[in-house]
Structure 1
């Protein structure tokens, strides 16, 4: 069905024919939306067709004569030229219902303001059509009433312009106004540059921190964006103050909004660059190389987001409907998120590893059943070099959710061997061993005495069990093994001195040729225990704290006669 176009002009007293409900009528002057009404009024003024411009005003019957209509349209144009303003075109509603997200009653939109005899007057457009008719937006009757009796004075710019520049028109505007706009653009930028330069100079002079990083870099990042933003506001203010035509200013409104958006984007871009560079340098100095890849990835992601949002904002500022784009972007984002779910999981895992730092490059750790040294923590995965020199790659998402045992952060090492003695070891020999082995633990300078435990824990079918529990102070695993080796050798000497021996993991059959345990050593161990007992110095079941203090550090370590002891003594 073809669309019927019909101009709806105020004062048309001819009754309109009723149309079928499905018939759509389009207004030939484009007054179906607030944006269409304002744009149509501006275009009519640019064409200097004030009768057509008056068709965008809600005129009562007394104001429908041609001269009166022309006068009111010219008055509104003059008031707009004389310091008035209209919202940028992109901010005006392009919907037939107008804006519904403001506090103004439905069917009415605020589109600008003017000054009438020293008082500010808001400009409203309203839908004057009935509910069952095609929307018809006009400058409201209240607005027309407020401006109709305004006093018109010659514009300041027109007072100083030469006659040829006022009488020659370009695009419906005197040529002098165009020249004034060019001069204002140059002057606004120079004024903004001077103001921001002076402000930054004052800040650096009176705030010492502004001359050092990171404050210096942050302040520098604000320089250009603030200069552009201030230039826009200076330009808008001066163009209104000197009386430049609203026709030019409305055409430049999208440009000024675009420049403001670009200024914000430049600020975000420069801050992102500076913060990422500063953070990357700090991570490099701290040796956290794995964090640099995260920082660079976040910087690239942020810049992509800025570019997308900037394009959408600029298109919206110049009047392009981006609703469909946003919907498509949202659907695309959901699809991308679903498709890249595992990648996002690994990225979040990478961030977790960088922030919590359960492991670092060079740490020896155990993840599940994999043990080895961490060689690289990347954006997607972590590489672990095992003891067999194989390279295991674990996705960071799995790694962050796993139980990680990090051996690199141990402050001490557990020493917990179990000695199994021959079944024919006598009780006094066990007592001798308990005292002497504990004395060794307390006296060794590399063993933490709190706690340092040794207990006779049981009798099995093949042996008597002595269990140790102590911590060795060592900076790394290699040193721990050296100290553990020294302790075990000293303990073997003590076991040999006691006259007993370690049990074999098998049953023993005694035959006549077996001489048994050496009687002299057995008797000597028993005599030593008897002397301790008679003197009240048997350190069982606990050691005397005074005795522990006397024993601390009395064992020579490294042991005498070893290469390490010779090196320590400077020989």
Structure 2
């Protein structure tokens, strides 16, 4: 009985206000919680597919990374916190354990949120990830999001630890406004760069016209976009200026519309004039890669009878466009030459009376003047 009494007395003894039995139950709960968490993490890490280098990441692989980024230290702290809920500890000890758990929890949540935000951004831009400009913009956005996530996590940690974050937030706000005002133009170009990359009004390699300038886009930078002009020089344009101006993107042109006005002389016979629309239609339709629209005798011009022809070149390539237009112009010229139809050019016809009529008119005017003088 003495041994049993000793064991009973030992179990009934208290340490920091809790019996050894309570401490044992709390320890067992902590160990069980940690064991279950580790087993679940091990099971999920083996069940979910791991991301492969060089390939797009899918959501099961993102979950695998979230599991892999679950810290063992966080699981240990969480298990201790769960176990201490069964113990009657001093308030200072409870606050210390709660504070450590809160810090570990928010840090772990920030790690998860950082990875989820990066995955969402990569998913939204998955079609553009192969472009260097988009990769740079994605890295920049990820950096901004990472700063925002960790700043929010730190503020929540300080607030839950009992610190007054109002003054800190106000100070950060004032400082942020001052920095934004000082770097207004730089920030404007930065966000304009993101707008260009995400909205994609043009991309590297596109031929664009903006204002009175034109050229091929070579690089979309953080502050400027570099454009190679047709004359050879490189033009550096502020991203803000490009966002605020009207940009014509000729690289994305799928078809090119051509309006051709043919002027023939006024002495062209009516039957030949009536044949011109059908003649031109046959020439245009015989050309591959071209869609005929219409041909009409449009108007009586100042020096020509005008026939308007409209057709489409089924390609956005400028060289193809010029080749088709040249071939059709040659064919029309040859057809008009064979049919005896003359092209008109700006001219005026001056009708001069005969010399005899002019002399008679002058004599009559002289007689009238003499009669008037005698009277």
TM-score over 0.5 (shorter chain): yes
Q: Is the 8 A contact 1:196 1:226 kept in 2?
A: no
Give how far 1:475 is off: 5.0
Partner residue in 1 for 2:184: 341
Q: Are residues 1:435 and 2:286 paired?
A: no
Q: Are residues 1:481 and 2:322 paired?
A: yes
Give how far 1:462 is off: 2.5
Q: Secondary structure at the match of 2:99?
A: helix
Q: Provide the alpha-carbon RMSD of the alignment.
A: 3.6
**Structure 1 runs not aligned, ≥5 long:** 1-157, 205-211, 511-571
**Structure 2 runs not aligned, ≥5 long:** 1-8, 50-55, 352-375
Quickly say closer, same or farther: Cα 1:179–1:385, change in 2 above 3 A.
farther
Partner residue in 2 for 1:414: 257
Partner residue in 2 for 1:392: 235
Structure 2 residue corresponding to 1:252, chosen from 97, 101, 106? 97
Partner residue in 2 for 1:502: 343
* Greater radius of gyration (CA): 1
Q: Secondary structure at the match of 1:417?
A: strand
Q: Secondary structure at the match of 2:306?
A: strand
Partner residue in 1 for 2:64: 220
Give how far 1:180 is off: 10
Partner residue in 2 for 1:561: none
In 2, the alpha carbon distance for the partners of 1:176 and 1:245 equals 18
Quickly say closer, same or farther: Cα 1:159–1:364, change in 2 above 3 A.
farther
In 2, the alpha carbon distance for the partners of 1:277 and 1:471 equals 40
Give how far 1:498 is off: 2.0
Give how far 1:493 is off: 0.6
In 2, the alpha carbon distance for the partners of 1:248 and 1:231 equals 17
Q: Secondary structure at the match of 1:379?
A: coil
Partner residue in 1 for 2:362: none
Q: Is the 8 A contact 1:276 1:296 kept in 2?
A: no
In 2, the alpha carbon distance for the partners of 1:174 and 1:315 equals 35
Give how far 1:465 is off: 1.7
Q: Secondary structure at the match of 1:444?
A: coil
Q: Is the 8 A contact 2:48 2:63 kept in 1?
A: no
The number of residue pairs the alignment matches comes to 336
Q: Is the 8 A contact 1:374 1:382 kept in 2?
A: yes
In 2, the alpha carbon distance for the partners of 1:317 and 1:473 equals 66
In 1, the alpha carbon distance for the partners of 2:202 and 2:304 equals 42
Give how far 1:230 is off: 5.4
In 2, the alpha carbon distance for the partners of 1:418 and 1:401 equals 36
Quickly say closer, same or farther: Cα 1:283–1:446, change in 2 above 3 A.
closer
Q: Is the 8 A contact 2:33 2:79 kept in 1?
A: yes
TM-score in terms of structure 1 length: 0.52
1:130-185 Cα offsets, whole Å, 9 max, x none, are xxxxxxxxxxxxxxxxxxxxxxxxxxxx9648x6x94xx8xx99999999999987
Partner residue in 1 for 2:6: none
Give how far 1:278 is off: 6.3
Quickly say closer, same or farther: Cα 1:447–1:276, change in 2 above 3 A.
closer
Give how far 1:503 is off: 2.3
Q: Is the 8 A contact 1:177 1:245 kept in 2?
A: no
1:288-334 Cα offsets, whole Å, 9 max, x none, are 33222221111111222233333333333443333221110121122
Q: Is the 8 A contact 2:48 2:61 kept in 1?
A: no
Q: Secondary structure at the match of 1:327?
A: helix
Partner residue in 1 for 2:195: 352
TM-score in terms of structure 2 length: 0.75
Q: Secondary structure at the match of 1:424?
A: coil
Correspondences of 1:446-457 after superposition (within 5 Å): 446-449=289-292, 451=293, 453-457=294-298
Quickly say closer, same or farther: Cα 1:480–1:248, change in 2 above 3 A.
same
Correspondences of 1:419-568 after superposition (within 5 Å): 419-449=262-292, 451=293, 453-474=294-315, 476-507=317-348
Quickly say closer, same or farther: Cα 1:245–1:215, change in 2 above 3 A.
same
Partner residue in 2 for 1:69: none
Give how far 1:473 is off: 2.0
In 2, the alpha carbon distance for the partners of 1:458 and 1:203 equals 75
Give how far 1:353 is off: 2.2
In 1, the alpha carbon distance for the partners of 2:164 and 2:281 equals 85
Quickly say closer, same or farther: Cα 1:504–1:202, change in 2 above 3 A.
closer
